[in-house]
Structure 1
Amino acid sequence: MTIRGKAHIAGAYEHPDRKIPDKSVAQVHAEVALGAVADAGLSLSDVDAYFCAGDAPGFGPLSMADYLGLKRLRYLDSTETGGSSYLVHVGHAAAAIAEGKCEVALITLGGLPRSRPVPRPSASSLAPEAGFELPFGPTTVSMYALAARRHMYDYGTTSAQLAAIKVAASQHARHNPRAMLPNPVTVEEVLESPMISDPLHRLDCCVVSDGGGALVVVSPEVARELRRQTVKVLGHGESPKLADNGRIDLTYTGAVWSGPRAFEEAGVTQADIDYVSIYDSFTITVLQTIEDLGFCEKGKGGAFVADGSLQAPHGRLPFNTDGGGLCNNHPVNRGGMTKVIEAVRQLRGEANGPVQVPDCEIALAHGNGGSLGTRSAAATLILGREDA
C-alpha cells in the first residue's frame, strides 16, 4: 500500500510566542490544536485521531485527549522519536487514513524549555545505554560536535562552510517578525562567536524556545469539502540509526534510508524538489542531511552550502525560510513540527514574501531525533501543492 495522495495536510499552526511563562504545557498544546483545526476550517469535534509524542504532559494521548475534549477518537499514536516524531506522525496518520481507520488526524507539539529549563543529558538514567555513556559526561552539543569533527577529518569540511548554513538561515529570519534572532550574520561573525564545543560555535547552535505547533491531516474526501487549500502527502520514510555498540560511523544520518523511501513513494527525484525544510539543531545536522538525502555527493556538502545554494528565493535548494531552529524557534527542543509547518506555508504560497519560493510545487521536510553522536531517528516527508 502507498500513501501517495491518500491524505492531505489541511491545517498547520505555529505558536506565535517564543517565551510563555504564564501557561502550562497542556495549555500550549491546546492553543496550537485550536489554531490548526481553525486553519483547516474544522473544529475539535471533527477530530477522530490524535497523535502526540513525549512532550505531551500526563499520560500522553489519553491525558491530552481528555483535556482537549476529543470525544470521537478511534485512533491514537504516541510514537516517540525525538524531534522527528511529528514527521513520523504525519506518515502514520496518512497510512491510517488510507486504511480507513480515521479521517481527521490532529498532531500536537508543545512545551516550555525556555521558561522552565531542565538538564538534558544524552541518555536518561534508566536507558540501557546509560551505564556505558553517562559516566563520560556527554552533552547534546558535544555529541554533535563529535560528528562535526569527524566529518571535517574525513572530508575536509570547514567551520566557514558550516557557518554558511547559519548565514542563510539568518538572511531568512530577518523577514520573520517572530524570529528570536532576526539579525543577519556573516560567516566571520559565526566564527567569532564563542566556542561551545569544538568545532561548534554558539552561532552554529539552535535557539531554545517555548512554543509549539500542530497539524491536521485529513482524507481526500474531507479535503474536497474544505474551503482551505490543502497540501498532498506524496511520500514518507523513517529509519533509526543505531550506535551499534560503539561501532558508529559519525559521518551520516538515518536520512540515507528514510530519504530514498520517501522519494520512491512520492515518485520524484531530488531535481523535482523546490524547497526543503531540514532540521537544524546544529549546522552540522543540516550539512549531513543534505548529503544523505542525495542533494550532493557524500563529503561535498561543505562546498554545496558555501556558495549561497540554501538562500531563498532563488538558491539551488532554498531551505528553512522561517529562519529555522538556528534563528526562528526550536520549541521544546524538537524541531520537526516547525519544519512541516514551513513546508506547508511554502506550498500554499504563504511564506514571508521575500523568501517565498516562486511556483513552489513540491517540498521536502526532514526531521532528526536523538543524537548524531549516538543513536538517532530520521523521518522524511515529501509534500505536493494541491493543484500540482
Structure 2
Amino acid sequence: MSGLDLRGATAIVGVAESDLGSVGPDRFAVDLAAQAAVAALDDAGLSTRDVDALYSIVPSFGPNLNLGEYLGIRPRVTGGANIGGSAFVSHLYHATMALAAGQCDVALIAYGSTPRADRQRPARAAGIPETPNYQEAYKPRDPVSGYALVAARHMHEFGTTREQLADVAIAAREWAKLNPVAYSHGEPSLTRGDVLGSRMVSTPLTVRDCCLVTDGGGALVVTRADRAKNTRKAPAYFLGAGEAHYHRHISSMPDLTASAAVDSSARAYKMAGLGPADIDVVQLYDAFTINTIMFLEDLGFCAKGEGGAFVEGGRIAPGGSLPVNTNGGGLSYCHPGMYGIFTLIEAVRQLRGEAGARQVKGAEIALAHGNGGQFSSQVTAILGTGAAL
C-alpha cells in the first residue's frame, strides 16, 4: 500500500474532551478517557458497540486492557504505542492504515491523565528508569531544562529574543479567552512584561513560557470515508501524515535548533499533495514557547532562524495572518501531560465550523502536529473538509 492510497481513505467523525482543569482526587485517568470516549462516540452518532479498534494511552499497565474493560469494548485491532505527546497523531495514522486495509471499521483513540489530581493522592513508589539517562548527573529539571537548552541555543544562533518567545504565550492567552473551556479563559491578557517578569523556571524560560498542568482527557472516532458520509457530524478527512524521531534524551539531539518535524511534515505534505501555503489553521504542541517557534520553522511556515520574527506583531494571534493553537494551546487551554490529542480535536472543530468565537473563517485544511519527549518524537497530520478532497 502506497502513501497515496491513504489520502482521503478515512475521516475523523467524532471528537470530545472530558472534564478539564482540576477534577479532584476521586476521579482517575481511565474515568476521563472513558468520559471523552463516550462523548466522542455520541458526537459521531455511534456507540461502544460499533468500536472494533482501540488505541489509547492511560497512565497504567495495559491501558487498552483497562479502557476496553471499562467501556465493554472487545477490539479486533488494538494499538497504543507510547512515543510521548505525539502518540495520538501517530495513532490516527496507524488507525488509518488498519481501516484502509479492512482490518477494522471504527477506531477509537482515547487519552486521560490526572496530574493535578495525583498531587492529592498518596505518593507512589518511583518506577524503574526506562533507559540509561546520561544527563541525570547534571540534575536537569526535566522536561523544562531540555526545552530551555533548545531555547538558549536558538537565541544564541539566530538572535531570537525573550520578547519573541513571550509573543507566543501572549497569542495563546488571547485564543484561550475565546474558548469557554480553556483553563485560562477568564484570565486577563498577557503582556511581554508579564511573561518576562514571571518566575524563572529554567533559564531562559519563565513560568509563563511553560505549559499548564491540568487534568483532562480527549477522544477521537475514526472510520473509512465511505461510512463517514453517514455519521452525525461533518467528517474531517485524513489527507496525509508522517512521523519521525531521532533521539530520546535531549543530550542525543543531533541539532538543538532543528527537530524531526522537518521529516514528519515533509512526509505528510507529500501524502496530502499540499504545502505550508495551503494550510488554513495550525495546531501545534506548545508545551513551551520555544516549541511554537521551532515547529513553525520545521514545518515550513518560515525559514530556519526566522521563527522569532514570524510570531511578532500578533501574526499567530486572533486576527493574525496564520491562526495557530486556536483553542489556547498547552500554554493556556489545557495540558494533562500529553497534549497531542487536543491538536486533532481542535483541528476537527475548526474544519466543522464549530469553534464559536475563535472560529477561523473558511477553514478547509488544518495541520495538527504532535511532539513527544524533549523534541524527540514528531508526528504531523493534515486534515481537510470534503471540499479539500
Question: Normalization by structure 2: what TM-score?
Answer: 0.93
Alpha-carbon distance between aligned partners in 2 of 1:112 and 1:298, rounded to the nearest angstrom: 36
Q: For the residues of structure 2 that align with 1:78 and 1:30, how far apart are their CA atoms?
A: 15
Give the match's secondary structure for 1:82: coil
1:276 matched to 2:282: yes
Aligned length: 375
Give the Cα separation in 1 of the matches to 2:250 and 2:218: 33
Question: Which residue number in structure 1 is paired with residue 8 of structure 2?
Answer: 5
Aligned partner of 1:147 in structure 2 is 150
Residue 38 (1) aligns with residue 42 (2): yes
Counterpart secondary structure, 2:116: coil
Question: Which shows bigger deviation, 196-205 or 241-250?
Answer: 241-250
Pairing 1:61-72 to 2, within 5 Å after superposition? 61-71=64-74
Task: Go from structure 1 to structure 2 and tell me whether the alpha carbon gap of 1:24 and 1:125 turns closer, same or farther (over 3 Å shift).
Answer: closer
Please, which runs of 5 or more residues in structure 1 have no aligned partner?
none
Matching residue within 202, 224, 228 for 2:207: 202
Q: CA contact under 8 A between 1:173 and 1:184: conserved in structure 2?
A: no
Q: Is residue 286 from structure 1 mapped to residue 289 from structure 2 by the alignment?
A: no
1:193 to 198, 212, 218: 198
Residue 263 of structure 1: aligned partner: 269
User: Could you tell me whether the CA contact under 8 Å between 2:116 and 2:215 is conserved in 1?
Assistant: yes
The CA distance in 1 between the partners of 2:152 and 2:300, in whole Å, is: 21
Of 228, 231, 239, 1:234 maps to 239
RMSD, aligned CA: 1.7
User: Which TM-score applies when normalising by structure 1?
Assistant: 0.93
Displacement of 1:29 in angstroms is 1.4
Q: Tell me the residue number matched to 1:384.
A: 384
Q: Is 1:304 paired with 2:278?
A: no
Which residue in the other structure is 1:347 paired with? 351
Q: Which moved more, 1:194-203 or 1:238-247?
A: 238-247
Q: Quick check: 1:50–1:61 contact (8 Å CA) kept in 2?
A: yes
C-alpha contact (below 8 Å) 2:117/2:215 kept by paired residues: yes
Q: Does 1:366 align with 2:369?
A: yes
Match of 1:171, as an amino acid? Answer: E
Deviations 1:178-225 (A, max 9, x none): 222232111121111111111001100010000110000011122122
The residue number in structure 2 matching 1:24 is 28
Contact 1:145-1:198 at 8 Å conserved across structures: yes
- Partner Cα separation in structure 1 for residue 229 and residue 182 of structure 2: 34
Q: Residue type of the partner of 1:25?
A: A
Out of 153, 170, 173, the residue aligned to residue 170 of structure 1 is 173
Q: What CA distance in whole angstroms lies between the structure 2 residues aligned with 1:94 and 1:208?
A: 31
How far has the Cα of 1:245 moved from its partner? 7.0
In 2, Cα distance between equivalents of 1:318 and 1:141: 26
- The letter of the residue matching 2:114 is L
Work out whether residues 45 and 70 of structure 1, in 8 Å CA contact, stay in contact via their aligned partners in 2: yes
Aligned equivalent of 2:76? 74
Instruction: Please give the secondary structure, in 2, of the residue aligned with 1:93.
Output: helix
1:116 maps to 118
Query: Please, which of 60, 63, 68 is the counterpart of residue 60 of structure 1?
Result: 63
Preserved contact between residue 11 and residue 223 of structure 2 (Cα < 8 Å): yes
Mark the CA change 1:37 to 1:371 in structure 2 (over 3 Å): closer, same or farther. same
CA distance in 2, matches of 1:386, 1:342: 17
* Deviation of the 1:279 alpha carbon: 0.4
- Identity, % of aligned positions: 44
d(CA) in 1 for partners of 2:348, 2:339: 15
Residue type of the partner of 1:323?
A: G
Letter in 1 for 2:383: L
Amino acid at match of 1:351: A
Query: Is the CA contact 2:21–2:216 (under 8 Å) kept in the aligned structure 1?
Result: yes
Aligned to 1:87: 89
CA distance in 1, matches of 2:84, 2:252: 21
